[in-house]
Structure 1
Amino acid sequence: MIQLMIWNSSDLERAKPASSSSLISRTPSGTTPRKSSGLMGRFSQLLSFDMEEPRSLPTEEQLAAHQLTRETIQSCHIDSIFSESKFLQAESLLQLVKSLILTASRLSKGTGPVDDEGASVFCLELLIAITLNNRDRIMLIWQEVYEHISNVVQSTIMPCTLVEKAVFGLLRICQRLLPYKENLTDELLKSLQLILKLDARVADAYCEQITQEVMRLVKANATHIRSHVGWRTITSLLSITARHPEASETGFETLAFIMSDGAHLLPSNYVFCVDAARQFAESRLGDVDRSVSALDMMAGSVVCLARWSSEAQIAVGQEAAMKLSRDIGEMWLRMVQGLRKVCLDHREEVRNHAIVMLQRSLVGVDMIHLPIALWFQCFDLVIFTLLDDLLDISLESSPKNYWKMEETLVLAMKLMAKAFLQQLQDLSQQPSFCRLWLGVLNRMERYMKVKFRGKRSEKIHELVPELLKNILLVMKTTGVLKPSDDIGGDSFWQLTWLHVKNICPPLQSEVFQDHELEQMQAKNMKSGVPAPDETLTVPSSERTV
């Protein structure tokens, strides 16, 4: 029937030429053109078989046949098939959808008498209208509808009306059906991944409008989106906007709606949202304030991790709590790794704020039950790596590209010292503590040697000994650093002072008074252990961390 409506005017219309706008209604010469709007208006135009102005007038027989066909079709009230499709039998509905898709497919391939994008658009609009009218039977037709939209999206390489209708029709379907079809939420949101497959030129042309529709979808349906799959699609669409001039503002507003105050953060979307926030923090399209806000959202998400961790301890058994604790730990590690990347930003305000937010995320996690092994990972992957990267930038990059790196190095050194002291008691109980401690000393030693424009940094030369002295005093007070220690073997004490002497020689006498050193020396001589001031050869494997 659909093909008949679109194509079977050939016998009646031979005198009328094919055109690129066959759905625009025109009457024979001598009458005033009439234009209809809306889907049913376009449907009436289609039934009339009106074309462009003919080059030659049809014969009286052709006009009569045309009029008879028109009246016959109109008397059948075919438009009610579409407007009242929800009353069709299941098989009839499915066949109607398939017929529309087949017709549109032939039109797009140019295999029918009418080769017109307008006709393909019309079929697509009918298809979307039928889908929306049959939300209670969506499973019956969804696969067919989705595949047709997918074909349109993936076969179009330039912006055009057809792909525009396909993309925004798909978004409209998701917006309308998400509140009513919880069992289809993942399937509907997964379908939006088609937008990610758009040709770059097409995506760029519609990115701003797409983002606006995604924002409407999220604000209206955030509570209905629960799964990993659904949120991955949403955050992928938002991440793309971070570097799009027209869409980035709306994209960030949507992400802020999800993340601010943990409003809609879930274990299923946490990593995705944090990664999207990092991309906005790194983007230079917005001003510095937006990058700072993105960093605030990343660090502020720790509150959610703490809440989930506390809830897990109460709500689930010990085994499940341990698994959830590991999962939360991995989320936290991903978040601080993201912050570390922004700490290398060219913009001074952004990288310094990133370091401050990273420090807050490291020392403000008392409520999160993080496995101790994760802290060793954090020092290796985040803290030590950050200090090494910043030092390399200071030594190798032009000051024109990185302004005021001295202040950044100061902040990074304070971060390492605070994180180390925060976890000292737990870390010191582990076999790998000696290696970790040498890593801290190694970074302090290297930072003491850094120069800016050929001159040493007075700020760093004042800061590092002060931080190191504070750490040593705490280690002494807590019993972590003592002559008779067992941490890392008998060499821990000597290894410590070997590095300290390279950083600030007077510190040993400032931390341990003379009488304490004398007592230590006497004890060591009895046990055969080298005295503190004796030379000790350190294995090369333990010198550099």
Structure 2
Amino acid sequence: MVSETAVRFGRDFKAQLATVVLFRVVTGHESTVREGWTHIVRIMLNLFVNSLLPSSFTSSLRTIDLPPIPLQSPAQVIERGDRPSEGSLFSAFTTYVSSFANDEPPEPSGQEIEYTLCTVDCIHACSFEDIYENISHMPLDSLKSLVSSLISQIPEDNSPRVIVVKPELPAPSPVRPNGQKPRLNTPAYDPRLAYVLELATILALRDRETIESLGKEVADVLQTVIRDASSVHPVVVSRAAYYLLSLLRTSNDHDFVRAPVVLHSISSFKSDLLKQSALPVLQGIFDCIRGPSDLRNEMANSPDFWSILHTLQSIPEAAPTVFEIVEEVVSGTPSAITADNYEPAIWLFNEFATAGRVGAAQEQREEPAVRKGKPVKEKKRPTNELVIRGAKAVSIIYQMTSRVPHFIEQSHLETNEAWNAYWSPIFRSLTLQCINPCREIRQQAFSSLQRSLLSKDLASPDHKEWTNIFGEVLFPLITQLLKPEIYQSDPVGMSETRVQAATLLCKIFLHYLVLLSEWEGMLDLWLRILGIMDRLINSGQGDNLEEAVPEQLKNILLVMSSGRYLAPPSDAAEPQTPQQAQLWRETWTRLDRFLPTLMPELFPEEAKKPPSRGKSEMSALVAGAREKSADADEEETVQAQAQAQAQVG
């Protein structure tokens, strides 16, 4: 079937034929090229929009990595006015017939079809691949004329052009139910504009000489289109952004286009427009990141760069490219990660890790088969790209810990402030992923968190800020794991995770025991650990925690005892210091609440003689007994007080 556009083109066949012949001749003669480019460009555009030019340029001109320019808009909505609420049958029939007649183009005549076919044959005979090849080798002066002619075809008034179809009958109400009229302000798609911008960019990118001579003029035009993005169709905007980024990459030695300006223009797009432009924009950014190292550093230190990536990371088809870009920034040689972009990079990787939570559903579907002893066939297990990226993101976050000592050393902040600035983002991210419903990511996060907490660069005797790892990392993590909603996200796996968290808390405490013993907050920290262990063992998770918690505490108590941090009062050779006496009493008292047999088991000689308590403890026990027996009779109250007196006697 012959298209309507081809029919219209065929009606003017003689004029088109003469011009095409001229076009074929002038591409080989420099003097004629200078005089006739404007007219030739118009014919090229006419041929292009009527599908009579190749959809893509030849390999000699194809220096950009984008699909061919589409000739039709991806979507076009034509609004019609509301129909009247009442009307005659004849009126409705007339409207239907009129609409049908307006929508259907007339059948082409035989003569029009003949003109069209002749035109198509003539165009094909001209071999436009050879014409493009000739263009790619033209002298610089001829290219300047061609580029100037191309740019002259861009309308100065970029006001939105829209298609409006008037209603056949006036609507009964000028206002829609929500009180506002629909706004028909979507810019029309003009493939000629995309063609002009692409060909001009390709010609400017030919070599160093053309970049220097034509780059600024083309870059100015592209930046104008980008700045006026709301008046241009998203397809053209996205391609123009890619062309501009391509110029940025190849013109790094020149200053007519700068990375911060380009990135700011793109990040200023409305959210919907930026998402529609995601793939070309990301491809252009990725090409720049893999380009000169100074350009990569300049882009990576721009806040707009991270803003763009953060916005586009949530788009499924764009997420893989975003991940590759950030991975290149972090792992490239040399790395583009600095103290300024360190935290944005971590939180972007954290978003990828969080997105991997979708893998929990697959893991839990396989869980019944595992419990029944049925092997899970790995080859049939689908590969979830979100989980793979999430686990890799956690691994990269951990790798960034190697940069922390350098950042702290180079920082102008106080030591404590610098420690918080560069260690805290890593711990916050890893802690969040330690409660990720996906076990694969959660296990990766736990492993990374443990290695980070045991890093030789973490703790320093010169300052005590690192002790916050208990109050800001480990305690909050276990508190989150104890929440019912966290447990229900993976009932089977989270039980094991709680055991791992308890083990990790004890391991970290023992690792830093020597440094902690010199800290005045040691006792309070130890009592908080005992309180956390009390909550864990009474969380109702069965044998796992009931076995793990006593074993971990037994290990800690033995190490503390061997190092004389926990000293029994009966040791006459080395009498207790006041601090040791207080630690001993508080430990015995707290453990007696939820593990009453643990201390007697480890210190049987002390079990025969309960630890002495001070007057303040006696008063507290008496008060507790009184409160406990407030509703009892007088005789029971006296008995409770007598028991308290006996305990402290």
TM-score with structure 2 length normalisation?
0.57
> Could you tell me how far apart the structure 1 residues matched to 2:333 and 2:398 are?
11
Aligned-pair RMSD on alpha carbons?
5.1
* Structure 1 segment 298-337 matched on structure 2, within 5 A: 298-309=397-408, 312=409, 323=414, 326-327=417-418, 329-337=420-428
- Which consecutive unaligned segments of at least 5 residues does structure 2 have? 28-32, 51-108, 110-138, 164-187, 357-383, 570-575, 626-649
1:164–1:354 distance in 2 versus 1, CA, 3 Å: same
Return the offset for 1:260: 4.0
* Structure 1 segment 99-498 matched on structure 2, within 5 A: 103-105=156-158, 117-118=190-191, 120-121=193-194, 124=197, 146-152=223-229, 154-155=230-231, 159-160=234-235, 162-178=236-252, 180-181=254-255, 184-194=258-268, 197-199=270-272, 203-204=275-276, 206-226=277-297, 230-260=301-331, 264=335, 265-284=337-356, 286-309=385-408, 312=409, 323=414, 326-327=417-418, 329-366=420-457, 372-393=463-484, 398=488, 401-452=490-541, 457-482=542-567, 484=576, 492-498=583-589
1:387–1:412 CA contact under 8 A, matched in 2: yes
1:218–1:254 CA contact under 8 A, matched in 2: yes
> Could you tell me how far apart the structure 2 residues matched to 1:386 and 1:428 are?
24
Return the offset for 1:426: 3.1
2:436–2:442 CA contact under 8 A, matched in 1: yes
Which one is further off, 253-262 or 406-415?
253-262
Q: Tell me, what secondary structure is at the counterpart of 2:281?
A: helix
- Which residue does the alignment assign to 2:594? 503
1:31 maps to 2:108:
no
> Could you tell me how far apart the structure 1 residues matched to 2:495 and 2:547 are?
13
1:22–1:119 CA contact under 8 A, matched in 2: no
> Could you tell me how far apart the structure 2 residues matched to 1:159 and 1:26 are?
32
Q: Tell me, what secondary structure is at the counterpart of 1:283?
A: helix
- Which residue does the alignment assign to 2:120? none
What amino acid does structure 1 have at the position aligned with 2:284? E
> Could you tell me how far apart the structure 1 residues matched to 2:349 and 2:560 are?
38
What amino acid does structure 2 have at the position aligned with 1:416? L
Which of the pair has more CA radius of gyration?
A: 2
Q: Percent identity?
A: 21
TM-score with structure 1 length normalisation?
0.67
> Could you tell me how far apart the structure 2 residues matched to 1:167 and 1:23 are?
32
> Could you tell me how far apart the structure 2 residues matched to 1:262 and 1:411 are?
37
1:190–1:229 CA contact under 8 A, matched in 2: no
For residues 211-240 of structure 1, give each alpha carbon's deviation from its aligned partner in whole angstroms, at most 9, with x where no partner exists: 333222212234433358735444444445
Return the offset for 1:347: 1.5
Return the offset for 1:494: 3.4
Return the offset for 1:445: 0.6
1:305–1:247 distance in 2 versus 1, CA, 3 Å: same
1:171–1:364 distance in 2 versus 1, CA, 3 Å: same
Q: Tell me, what secondary structure is at the counterpart of 1:351?
A: helix
- Which residue does the alignment assign to 1:13? none
For residues 105-125 of structure 1, give each alpha carbon's deviation from its aligned partner in whole angstroms, at most 9, with x where no partner exists: 358699xxxx98345446655
Q: Tell me, what secondary structure is at the counterpart of 1:364?
A: coil
1:496–1:30 distance in 2 versus 1, CA, 3 Å: closer
> Could you tell me how far apart the structure 1 residues matched to 2:213 and 2:304 are?
24
Return the offset for 1:175: 1.8
> Could you tell me how far apart the structure 2 residues matched to 1:42 and 1:363 are?
70
1:173–1:486 distance in 2 versus 1, CA, 3 Å: farther
Return the offset for 1:369: 5.3
Aligned length: 462
2:530–2:591 CA contact under 8 A, matched in 1: yes
Q: Tell me, what secondary structure is at the counterpart of 1:173?
A: helix
Which one is further off, 128-137 or 252-261?
128-137
1:24–1:360 distance in 2 versus 1, CA, 3 Å: farther
2:482–2:536 CA contact under 8 A, matched in 1: yes
1:226–1:268 CA contact under 8 A, matched in 2: no
1:116–1:251 distance in 2 versus 1, CA, 3 Å: closer
What amino acid does structure 1 have at the position aligned with 2:272? D
Return the offset for 1:439: 2.4
1:516–1:181 distance in 2 versus 1, CA, 3 Å: farther
> Could you tell me how far apart the structure 2 residues matched to 1:227 and 1:243 are?
24
1:413–1:464 CA contact under 8 A, matched in 2: yes
1:241–1:251 CA contact under 8 A, matched in 2: yes
1:393–1:126 distance in 2 versus 1, CA, 3 Å: same
What amino acid does structure 2 have at the position aligned with 1:302? T
> Could you tell me how far apart the structure 1 residues matched to 2:604 and 2:213 are?
82
Return the offset for 1:427: 3.6
1:362–1:419 CA contact under 8 A, matched in 2: yes
1:298–1:335 CA contact under 8 A, matched in 2: yes
For residues 73-92 of structure 1, give each alpha carbon's deviation from its aligned partner in whole angstroms, at most 9, with x where no partner exists: xxxxxx9889449xx9xxxx
> Could you tell me how far apart the structure 1 residues matched to 2:453 and 2:291 are?
35
1:295–1:339 CA contact under 8 A, matched in 2: yes
2:300–2:306 CA contact under 8 A, matched in 1: no
